[in-house]
Amino acid sequence: MPFVYILECRDKSFYVGSTWDLERRLSEHQEGLGAAYTRRRRPVRLRWHAAYDSIAEAYAMEKRVQGWSRAKRIALIEGRFDDLPGLSRRGQSRATE
């Protein structure tokens, strides 16, 4: 089953990825075998994940979340789904992220 996940890095930045095997991929990130981005920012912590029916759905969600602001990612992590549309508005100040 494919997953999309958000990691929080040591520097408080977020990394968004997708994988078939979440446990294995998290282990890779922790061991420095994952993406170069997380390799330089270990340790990482899993903050959110969701399972999808197909890799195409997971990949589409990964790309969508990668384009989101920090505020919108935090809303997703915290389960504040009703806040997500409001965080998508054009002209939102990036200074509040």
pLDDT, tens digit, for every residue of 61-79? 999 999 999 999 999 999 9
Q: Give dist(CA 14, CA 87) in Å, integer.
A: 17
Task: Please give the C-alpha separations between residue 51 and each of 48, 85, 86, in angstroms, as whole numbers.
Answer: 11, 21, 24
Burial class for 29, CB neighbours closer than 10 Å (0-12, 13-18, 19+) = buried
Q: Give dist(CA 34, CA 77) in Å, integer.
A: 21
pLDDT in tens, 20-46: 999 999 999 999 998 999 999 999 999
Nearest to 81 by CA among 48, 53, 46, 44: 48
Is the pLDDT score of 95 beyond 50? no
pTM exceeds 0.95 for this model: no
- Residue 34 is predicted with a pLDDT of 83
- Residue 89 is predicted with a pLDDT of 59
Q: Which helix (H) or strand (E) holds 15?
A: strand 14-19
Would you state the CATH architecture of domain 1-66? 3-Layer(aba) Sandwich (3.40)
Domain positions in the chain are: 1-66, 69-97
